[in-house]
Amino acid sequence: MKPLRVGLTFNLKRVDPTRDDVEAEYDSPKTIAALCDAIASFGHSVVRLEATPDLARRLPRAGVDVVFNLAEGAGGRSREALVPALCELLRVPYTGSDPAALCVTLDKAMGKRILRDAGVPTPDFFLMETGREPLPRGWRFPAIVKPNIEGTSKGITTKSVVDDEAALRRRCREMIRRYRQPAIVEAYVAGREFTVGVLGWPRPRALAPMEVVFLQPQARTVYEFSLKQNWDGKLEYVCPARIAPAASRLMCRLALDAFTVFGCRDVARVDFRTDRRGRPFVIEVNPLPGMTPAFSDLVMIAEAAGIGYRDLIGRVLECALRRRRLGLV
């Protein structure tokens, strides 16, 4: 393969996530270095492109053949779509999903309406803009309250699970104030937690589900923010998950259905919970999953499927290169 110039677009983490979660979704210098190494190992040259506002001027001058996109963007519900939209404007092929898919999946309520319409099981929910709105008739507890347009478990702790209306309203008002966006309230699904990686274009393939096992049994488990930062002794990642083959197949099919209904491309991770009867519910689709070596869920899932880090990055890049060869963006 002819060596190419690959632009790596990213947002650099400068604020320690254990102190402040503003940049929790961003990538560390170490992750960026690992990605550069992986891309360069295929013989390409890598141009680092931090997704600051002047990217709009730097990208057209960078002369890249393709963009490997990791940028989470800043501010607002279209933030993840900013770099892909710029790539489309400049007609530079890029890895991963398009702006439309990134926007509707980032907005949890919007995404869930689409999943529901497609017949993909997802927990019941409603939105709170102020925290004073009436609850839907017959709403049942426990419920979980989350900021509607965040990721990386921002705003999610065991306190997010509420058992009555007063606690629900209190938590909603707190989330709305802290994150300056509506809160989504969902039926709490009490069973086990899984996540499924999806890879490939034009034909995506689901990798074997991974279970996130909570080692400190609690009445209400949530894959909360502090656990994602430091899971040592508190979580175990089991991949492939120890579940019946039929349950695994069902989750993989639902993951592919969810991926497809949003028109995702190349890579995503689909989060699941099962209820007490073992029925799976899609919690959300992440078309811009973390890719930190030996840390990110997707990297562990790929590893378990025999796809090492370099291979994973190579496969995602190859999807964009295939579109480039077809003259697509």
Ligand X SMILES: Nc1ncnc2c1ncn2[C@@H]1O[C@H](COP(=O)(O)OP(=O)(O)O)[C@@H](O)[C@H]1O
Residues 74-93 that bind Mg ion (CB under 5 A): none
Per rule CB under 5 A, is residue 72 in the interface with Mg ion? no
Minimum CB separation from Mg ion for residue 101, in Å?
16
* CB-neighbour burial class of residue 6 (10 A; exposed 0-12, middle 13-18, buried 19+): buried
| Dist CA 274 CA 320 (whole Å) | 34
| CB-based contacts of 261, cutoff 8 Å, min separation 6 | 114, 115, 118, 120
User: Looking at 72, 80, 193, 271, which residue binds Mg ion (CB under 5 A)?
Assistant: 271
123 binds, among Mg ion, ligand X, none (CB under 5 to 8 A by kind): ligand X
Size of the site for Mg ion (CB under 5 A): 1
Minimum CB separation from Mg ion for residue 271, in Å?
4
23 binds, among Mg ion, ligand X, none (CB under 5 to 8 A by kind): none
CA distances from 54 to 27, 58, 59, 111, 202 (A): 19, 6, 9, 30, 32
Per rule CB under 5 A, is residue 25 in the interface with Mg ion? no
Minimum CB separation from ligand X for residue 184, in Å?
8
Per the document, the length of the chain is 329
Minimum CB separation from ligand X for residue 227, in Å?
9
CA distances from 78 to 17, 83, 105, 306 (A): 22, 10, 10, 34
Choose one: 56-64, 88-96, 166-174, 267-275; the region binding Mg ion (CB under 5 A): 267-275
Residues that bind ligand X (CB under 6 A): 123, 144, 146, 150-154, 156, 186-189, 193, 222-223, 271, 273, 283-284
Rule CB under 5 A: which residues touch Mg ion? 271
